[in-house]
Amino acid sequence: MGGDMESEKPADDMQTNGPTDLYSAISHADTRANEPEKIRLWREEQKNILAKKDEEADELELDWKESAKKEITDWYARQAEQLVKAKASNRAAEEAFIEKRDEVTPGQEWERIAGHCDFNPKNNKNLKDITRFRSILLHLKQSGVQPSK
């Protein structure tokens, strides 16, 4: 009859053959109590060494974070400074271009047109062939034709 009771137990109860958590805790405490003095001292020393290394790593991480924050703020400051310089340069170039564009000096029309064209075929990196355009402009300039406005 006793054998019948064991066969009626649920499957979960049958699978707990190993030590329970309580048993492993007691076993662990026993091995610590029976541990030689040198090993105990070594464990404590290792624990202290690891704690020091953790503290050093934390300090180093904080230093890196601080230096990273400083570098980021410096980078943003440089970017803002470059932006201000670029804006000022662009404004000056725009004003000079507009002044030169709107300048009307009699007899200077062809020079203004030639200033917008690159007549050096070696430096031209355009995809289209503009040699005919260049030759027509030079022919008109040499023939004395006045450009229309």
Residue with tokens 């805790």, as numbered in its chain: 25
**3-state per-residue secondary structure call for 95-146:** HHHHHHHHCCCCCCHHHHHHHHCCCCCCCCCCCCCCHHHHHHHHHHHHHCCC
State the pLDDT confidence band at 149, using cuts at 50, 70 and 90.
low
**Least confident among 21-25, 66-70, 78-82, 133-137:** 21-25
For the cut 90, the answer to whether the pLDDT of residue 67 exceeds it is: yes
Predicted TM-score of the model (pTM): 0.43
How is residue 17 annotated by DSSP? -
For the cut 80, the answer to whether the pLDDT of residue 129 exceeds it is: no
* Local structure of 63: helix, strand or coil: helix
